Structure 1
Amino acid sequence: MSFFARLSVLFAALTLLNGCEQPNAPPLDQQLYVWQRQWTPAHEAALRDSRADFSTLRVLALQAFPQDGWRRARVDPVLLKRDGRPLIAVIRLDGQLKTLDQDEVIAQVQQLLGDWHAQGLVVAGVEIDHDAGNARLPAYRAFLTQLRAVLPASLPLSITALPAWLDSPELPGLLATVDSSVLQVHAVSDPRRGLFDAAQAEQWAKAWSRLTPKPFYLALPAYGVALLPDADGAPVVESEVPIERGGKRRELLADPQQLSALGSELRKHPPAHLAGLIWFRLPLAGDRRAWSLTTLGAVARGDVLDSRLSLQLSEQNGLYDIAITNSGNLDSAWPERLTLVVKGCDGADALAGYALQQSPDLLTFTRLRDGRMPAGGQRAIGWARCTNIDQGGSNVHP
């Protein structure tokens, strides 16, 4: 074979190999649910600081309850206009509603959209969140068909969907009525089994991708809940709003490391038609049952996660304020114990959540209850009046 013939064969082989290469998958879109019913000044900073990582806001706008009727979320239109990201209005229809009054629901949705438009808000889509049982999917499909017919053709309609619907022959027809779906893969079964199972979520996503030719999203958890015992033994779920009830609380929290691993896998091997991830929910300052925005952003970006707890001392005239800081990007549990090497202490005490044991040359702060240290956060744990505290000889014990 001549040199030029061999070169031609080599070129053909390289061309064939290049043709077999898979193009890089587009990055998964990252969106946020804004689920607070009552907006506060804390929303301003949360929206501002989330802009770099999350493209779209899905905002709780309206809810229908079995007993209490319709309730509007008190959103801040000024903040939403200033934010400028695409805005999807979410209408929550409680799964315990016995029936859906189609005309009433549609009238409420149209009134909401009209009011938001009058406030200067540009709505990029409508999402219906209704946890219908499988037996009610035909009626739900009829409602969505009617709603789609009265909404502007240019306004996308999406639904929140349940993995339990995968068993229903009605699902393909239901999905055909909307432009996209949001598969909720968190807190879908008995909460006593946990908030989230990454392997199960990935299986559901793959199964969903085989049933719909349309874009779909995964709704993922960035929050925690507490389970309280009820009189009949069934758990009562406490989330954003405290419940006045006695009994020991069992705290459940979605694991950022687990969600980060799932996000990495979905970026490498995205199921067909998966358009992105939607995180529940936008965390506000002081939200004790949500990841910090720092951790949420790091998970969404796929950053390496790390907690870095350290001791922080502030001294004035021999009086030391003692605190712990987390300079990492991963929220952490309060440290179990802190030991401080000291000299000449004539007074010291622990603050709420810790107990103090004191000896002439050592202060030991021991955790009394569980708590979380947000990424970038600081928490005071006590004070001491001493001639010296050796920060280099002191330790934080996770």
Structure 2
Amino acid sequence: MSAIYLLRRALLFSLALLCGCQQSTAPPLDQQLYIWQRQWTTAHAEALAQSRADFSTLRVLALQTYPQGGWRRAQIDGALLQRDGRPLIAVVRLDGQLKHLDPVDTTARILQMIADWQALGLTLAGVEIDHDAGTARLPAYREFLLGVRQALPASLKLSITALPAWLDSPELAALLAAVDSSVLQVHAVSRPELGLFDPVQARHWAERWSRITRQPFYLALPAYGIALLPGEGGAPLVESEVPIERVGQRRELMADPQQLATLASQLRAEPPPHLAGLIWFRLPLKGDRRAWSLTTLGAVARGEQLHSRLALNLSNQQGLYDIVVSNDGNLDGTLPQRVTLAVSQCVAADGLNGYAVQQTPGQLSFSRLRDGRLPAGAERTLGWARCTHIDQGGSHVFP
């Protein structure tokens, strides 16, 4: 057997291996964003602009109905969405506590919403129905979805928000066959006191879902927090975007970016069958106190290493110093517990924004009075001091 023949066989074998590897490589997971604010503000423009590079599609709360309050439209900025140009999916939220779904009225309202959005110059890619139907009501829900599917223009995809509680229902496969895709929500689906999110449970649910569905599905992941307040009868009240006017100590729960980053990395490396992407809830606006910063959300979406980096910044105007701490990392962090300054001849000082100051010879110490977050890229003024000199090199920030 000639050396040329052996060389040719080796090359063909190598090419076959290469082709096999290329065929088995999974496509990258798509990443999308929910926009869940019912009233849009000027802050949406900056948030949308900063999110464009990392998130392909916007799923926008459009229409909502309540058991007592009836129907409400989200007050979107159509011109802003038109300029943004990304694919749009309008989300219709049907409260799970509704005793009855009127399919004719609901479908008519969905079609009217679509027409109104089109009149604003918006082109929809699809409609998502978000309805926390009880397991026993899944057959009726499927019939409702088939009616909506028939009424929608053929160009629009129909998707649903889905719950892990449906996994044990024999009706689930038929329900999923009635829509083009599903969004499995894996956050805020257990009792609030058990926490907001469990990454191990989320991965388990995704694996089970992938064995039932034959259509693409997405995972809805949390990038926000909630607060629990004491409620009557032992069940806690949940405070999210809208403050609750109630006296009582709040227990803050925030989705952990490190946990979500690990889960997203695992899903990219070994995606379950039919998993098409991740959808993050929700687009954060500047000053949103119960959401990750867009800096942290983008870093998680890109798979970057996460880190907080606290830095001390002093500004001096004729002996009057402002003491400012900043987070120069890409991970939202907590405000420092204490900041000490090496000083000379201070005649006055005071703490601000939840900090108190204590003065000893040659030192000022600013101590945190209550917990607080310092988002990535943000800064907080801790206080001021009138001194002859502050030695920044001899000052320390204690996380």
* TM class by smaller structure: over 0.9
Post-superposition Cα deviations, 1:155-191, rounded to whole Å, max 9, x if no partner, equal: 1000000011110000000001100100001111011
Q: Which residue of 2 aligns with 1:18?
A: 18
Secondary structure of residue in 2 paired with 1:340: strand
Contact 2:125 2:155 in 1 (8 A): no
Cα contact 2:34–2:281 (8 A) shared by 1: yes
Contact 1:345 1:360 in 2 (8 A): no
- The answer for the alignment partner of 2:59 in structure 1 is 58
Matched residue, 2:176: 175
Aligned pairs for 1:79-90 within 5 A = 79-90=80-91
Q: How does 1:185-334 map to 2 (within 5 A)?
A: 185-334=186-335
Query: Which letter maps to 2:39?
Result: Q
> Is it true that 1:184 corresponds to 2:182 in the alignment?
no
TM-fit CA distance, 1:17: 3.6
Shift of 1:21: 2.5
One-letter code aligned to 2:3: F
| Deviation sequence 1:224-282 (CA, Å, 0-9, x none) | 00000102111100001111111110000001111111111111101111111100000
* Aligned counterparts of 2:11 and 2:322: Cα–Cα separation in 1: 71
Report whether the alignment pairs 1:134 with 2:107. Answer: no
Instruction: Report the alpha carbon displacement of residue 15 of structure 1 after superposing the two structures with TM.
Output: 4.6
Bigger drift between 269-278 and 22-31 goes to: 22-31
Cα pair 1:312 1:323 within 8 Å, conserved? yes
Asked if 1 retains the 8 angstrom alpha-carbon contact of 2:342 and 2:391, the reply is yes
Is the 1:260–1:299 contact (alpha carbons within 8 Å) kept by the matching residues of 2? yes
In 2: Cα distance, 1:352 partner to 1:181 partner: 44
- Aligned partner of 1:111 in structure 2 is 112
> Could you tell me whether the CA contact under 8 Å between 2:353 and 2:381 is conserved in 1?
no
TM-score normalised over the length of structure 2 = 0.97
Tell me, what secondary structure is at the counterpart of 2:167?
helix
AA at the equivalent of 1:310: A
In the TM superposition, 1:338-377 aligns within 5 A as 338-377=339-378
AA in 2 matched with 1:370: D
* 1:124 corresponding residue in structure 2: 125
Q: Which runs of 5+ in 2 are unaligned?
A: none
* Greater than 4 Å deviation, 4+ residue runs: none
Cα RMSD (Å) of the superposition?
1.2
Report what 2:392 is aligned to.
Answer: 391
Measured in 1, the distance between the counterparts of 2:105 and 2:117 equals: 18
Question: 1:144 aligned to 2:158?
Answer: no
- Aligned partners of 1:18 and 1:331: how far apart in 2? 42
Q: Which amino acid aligns with 2:165?
A: A
Aligned-partner residue type, residue 90 of structure 1: V
Relative to 1, partners in 2 of residues 1:250 and 1:169: Cα closer, same or farther, differing over 3 Å? Answer: same
- In the alignment, residue 348 of structure 2 is paired with which amino acid? G
CA drift at 1:3: 3.3
**Following TM superposition, by how much is the alpha carbon of 1:14 offset from its aligned partner in structure 2, in angstroms?**
3.1
Query: Hey, what's the Cα distance between the residues in 2 that align with 1:61 and 1:272?
Result: 30
In structure 1, the residue matched to 2:3 is 3
Gaps spanning 5+ residues in structure 1: where?
A: none
* Between 8-17 and 290-299, the greater mean CA deviation after superposition: 8-17
